[in-house]
């Protein structure tokens, strides 16, 4: 079976671990538990007739307390940049990580996840942010690890991107 | 037992440990014979680290080692185990150590949990503050519309000669009050615009940063006109023996912090006196002092000096958010801010900012 390494990148508290939990185990916890180091999970998805095992590298959040080690990125077929849609400042770290990832492993496909879409009263994703993604041809999706909105389809989409990238 | 020592036989293959703790057997499988074990096959993360380890072992010198960093492995019972792998060479033999968490690790994890939770909570609080202040901004802004109507009516009364003999004097009083209120509204709107914007957290590069001395010079140049208007001298004094004044901070916000402190100093300095911005190095820190010859800060106000809406009794400050903004901004960069009396009289506000890591 084809195996694809997918990294979860973003600052702390944006919901990387919760997205993985929702996707792999279809569960969600309201309690915030910080990730120290790396946690690997896997799940098989099907793209057409092709079964793919996604190995999800849930990396610690990058912030003033910890940096993400670039050695963890080696061999990644694709990555998610996770942004908390209720905290637009979290985009800054995502873009820093994006630049570092490209410098380390090159032009690997990625998807921006605007997470916590269930917090509709707090939602602060601006048109300016969306226009910036459009103008760069970046794919951005709204997700909610709490409700599950957009989560399965985002992982399915990244599996497709990882597979297409390998074939091309 | 917290550490398992594995001796490398070949790429990815290790001599089985003579005895192993339960967690090791649960994660990497129990060794059933003397045949080599391949822990990298049971743990994808360890397999990834062993690629680095092989490169390291091929050229390692004694007393060198590399660490995988912390990784978390799921246990068959649904639990989780935090581990760290270390590659080293002992007596010419490549060795892989796999450790279970130490007290240090637990302490670090707890500290991170606490710090990150507080950081997220802080962000929420700032957002809440911003919301309220934007609302206040809107209310103040809305007050200006009917005021413009009152002003227009008063102007028309005069222009169309609708005033009785005593009316001209009363109309002038009304106009003066309207203009005063309009100025107050403008001041409040300007203060909120600058200060509310300043409360949004930013990400800074810890390895490089702006030059504190240049920032001080920028600010004093910008405020030189104000100082001249009130006959106050304004200058920067730097420690000439220091070559590098760079600090771990965001340039525009650092200038805003210095601006607030120097602006305050000019407001309180008596005519004919000087406001001095001193910049020097202090170990791992760059220290800036903004000194004036004004009345200083009353002892009763000092404990609350850097809190919100504190501006003393003089009313010379803005909305009372300036020093609060300075404190939270400097603290966010890992620095500190404070106040001392100047020995010769006057105020000395200081801030210490960390130098960049490299």
Q: Is A148 exposed, middle or buried (0-12, 13-18, 19+ CB in 10 A)?
A: middle
- Tokens standing for residue A93: 């770290």
pLDDT of residue A28: 94
Which residues form the domain of A151?
A: 2-167
Structural domains of chain B, ranges and CATH numbers in brackets: 3-101 (3.30.450.20), 118-198 (1.10.287), 212-354 (3.30.565.10)
Write a three-state SS string for B168-203. Answer: HHHHHHHHHHHHHHHHHHHHHHHHHHHHHHHCCCCC
DSSP string, A15-55: SHHHHHHHHHHS---SS-----SEEEEEEEEEETTEEEEEE
- Of the candidates A31, A35, A15, A33, which has an alpha carbon nearest to the alpha carbon of residue A23? A15
CA gap A55, A6 in Å, rounded:
6
Confidence of residue B319 (pLDDT cuts 50, 70, 90): very low
Determine phi and psi for B74, rounding to 5 degrees: -80, 140
ipTM: 0.83
Q: Cβ distance A75 to A3 under 8 Å? A: no
Q: Give the lowest-confidence range in B41-50, B53-62, B74-83, B194-203.
A: B194-203
CA gap B194, B187 in Å, rounded:
11
Interface test with B, best of A35, A37, A63, A87 (most B CBs within 10 A): A37
Question: Chain-centre distance of CA B133, in angstroms?
Answer: 21
Rg (CA), chain B: 32
Q: Is the pLDDT of residue B178 over 80?
A: yes
pLDDT of residue B91: 82
CA gap A13, A11 in Å, rounded:
7
Confidence of residue B190 (pLDDT cuts 50, 70, 90): low
A38, A61, A87 member nearest B123 (Cβ): A87
Q: Is the pLDDT of residue B74 over 70?
A: yes
Q: Which residue has the higher pLDDT, B91 or B232?
A: B232
CA gap B131, B121 in Å, rounded:
15
Instruction: Decide the pairing of beta strands B347-354 and B93-99.
Output: unpaired
Q: Which residue has the higher pLDDT, B288 or B1?
A: B288
Write a three-state SS string for B47-92. Answer: HHHHHHHHHHHHHCCCCCEEEEEEEEEECCCCCEEEEEEEEEEECC
- Closest-CA distance of chain B to residue A4, Å: 12
Confidence of residue B192 (pLDDT cuts 50, 70, 90): low
pLDDT of residue B317: 43
Confidence of residue B308 (pLDDT cuts 50, 70, 90): low
Element (H, E) at B121: helix B103-159
pLDDT of residue A168: 54
Tell whether A49 lies on the interface with B, counting CB pairs under 8 A: no
pLDDT of residue B197: 59
Q: Is the pLDDT of residue A35 over 60?
A: yes
Cβ distance of A89 and B123 shorter than 8 Å: yes
A34, A36, A63 member nearest B82 (Cβ): A36
The pTM of this model reads 0.62
**What is the count of structural domains for chain A?**
1
Cβ distance of A13 and B119 shorter than 8 Å: yes
Across A47-64, average pLDDT: 93
Question: Chain-centre distance of CA B155, in angstroms?
Answer: 50
- Highest-confidence range of A35-39, A107-111, B239-243, by mean pLDDT? A107-111
Percent of the residues in chain B that have a pLDDT greater than 90, as a whole number: 35
- Of the candidates A12, A38, A41, which has an alpha carbon nearest to the alpha carbon of residue A27? A41
Across B100-122, average pLDDT: 79
DSSP string, A54-65: EEEEEEPPPSSS
Question: Chain-centre distance of CA B2, in angstroms?
Answer: 38
Question: What is the SS3 assignment for B289?
Answer: strand
Q: Give the lowest-confidence range in B38-42, B70-74, B159-163, B278-282.
A: B159-163
Contact residues on chain B for A42, CB-CB shorter than 8 A: 44
Q: Is the pLDDT of residue A5 over 90?
A: yes
B45, B52, B112 member nearest A34 (Cβ): B112
Cβ distance of A89 and B201 shorter than 8 Å: yes
User: Tell me, what CATH number does A15's domain have?
Assistant: 3.40.50.300
Confidence of residue B100 (pLDDT cuts 50, 70, 90): confident
Cβ distance of A122 and B119 shorter than 8 Å: no
Cβ distance of B116 and A36 shorter than 8 Å: no
Across A115-130, average pLDDT: 91
pLDDT tens-place string over residues A56-70: 999 999 988 888 989
Across B115-128, average pLDDT: 80
């Amino acid at each position: 079976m084809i195996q694809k390494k997918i990294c979860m990148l973003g600052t702390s508290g944006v919901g990387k671990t919760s997205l993985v939990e929702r996707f792999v185990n279809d569960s969600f916890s309201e309690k915030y538990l910080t990730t120290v180091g790396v946690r690997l999970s896997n799940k098989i998805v099907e793209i057409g007739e092709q079964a793919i095992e996604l190995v999800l590298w849930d990396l610690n959040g990058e912030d003033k307390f910890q940096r993400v080690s670039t050695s963890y990125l080696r061999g990644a077929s694709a990555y998610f940049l996770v942004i908390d849609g209720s905290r637009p400042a979290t985009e800054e770290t995502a873009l820093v990580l994006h630049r570092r990832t490209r410098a380390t492993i090159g032009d690997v496909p990625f998807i921006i996840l605007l997470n916590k879409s269930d917090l509709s009263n707090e939602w602060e994703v601006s048109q300016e942010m969306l226009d910036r993604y459009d103008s760069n041809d970046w794919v951005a999706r709204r997700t909610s690890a709490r409700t599950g909105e957009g989560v399965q389809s985002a992982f399915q989409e990244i599996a497709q991107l990882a597979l297409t990238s390998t074939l091309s | 037992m917290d550490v398992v020592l594995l001796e490398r036989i070949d790429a990815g293959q290790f001599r089985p440990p003579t005895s192993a703790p339960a967690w090791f057997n649960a994660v990497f499988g129990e060794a059933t014979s003397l045949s080599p074990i391949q822990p990298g096959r049971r743990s994808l993360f360890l397999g990834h680290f062993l690629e680095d380890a092989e490169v390291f072992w091929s050229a390692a010198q004694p007393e060198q080692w590399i660490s995988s960093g912390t990784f978390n492995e799921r246990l068959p019972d649904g639990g989780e185990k935090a581990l760290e792998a270390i590659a080293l060479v002992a007596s010419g033999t490549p060795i892989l150590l796999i450790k279970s968490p130490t007290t240090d690790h637990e302490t670090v994890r707890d500290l991170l949990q606490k710090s990150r939770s507080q950081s997220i909570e802080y962000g929420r609080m700032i957002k809440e503050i911003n919301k309220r202040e934007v609302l206040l901004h809107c209310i103040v802004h809305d007050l200006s519309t009917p005021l413009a109507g009152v002003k227009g009516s008063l102007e028309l009364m005069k222009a169309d000669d609708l005033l009785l003999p005593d009316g001209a004097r009363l109309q002038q009083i009304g106009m003066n009050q309207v203009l005063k209120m309009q100025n107050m509204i403008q001041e409040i709107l300007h203060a909120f615009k600058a200060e509310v914007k300043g409360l949004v957290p930013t990400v800074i590069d810890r390895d490089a940063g702006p030059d504190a001395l240049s920032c001080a010079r920028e600010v004093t140049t910008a405020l030189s006109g104000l100082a001249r208007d009130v006959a106050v001298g304004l200058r920067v004094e730097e420690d000439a023996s220091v070559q590098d004044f760079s600090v771990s901070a965001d340039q525009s916000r650092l200038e805003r912090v210095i601006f607030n402190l120097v602006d305050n100093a000019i407001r309180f300095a008596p005519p004919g006196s000087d406001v001095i911005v001193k910049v020097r190095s202090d170990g791992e820190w760059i220290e800036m002092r903004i000194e004036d010859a004004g009345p200083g800060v009353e002892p009763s106000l000092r404990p609350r000096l850097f809190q919100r809406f504190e501006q003393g009794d003089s009313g010379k400050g803005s909305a009372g958010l300036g020093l609060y903004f300075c404190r939270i901004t400097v603290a966010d960069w890992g620095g500190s801010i404070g106040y001392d009396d100047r020995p010769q009289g006057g105020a000395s506000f200081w801030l210490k900012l960390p130098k960049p890591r490299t």
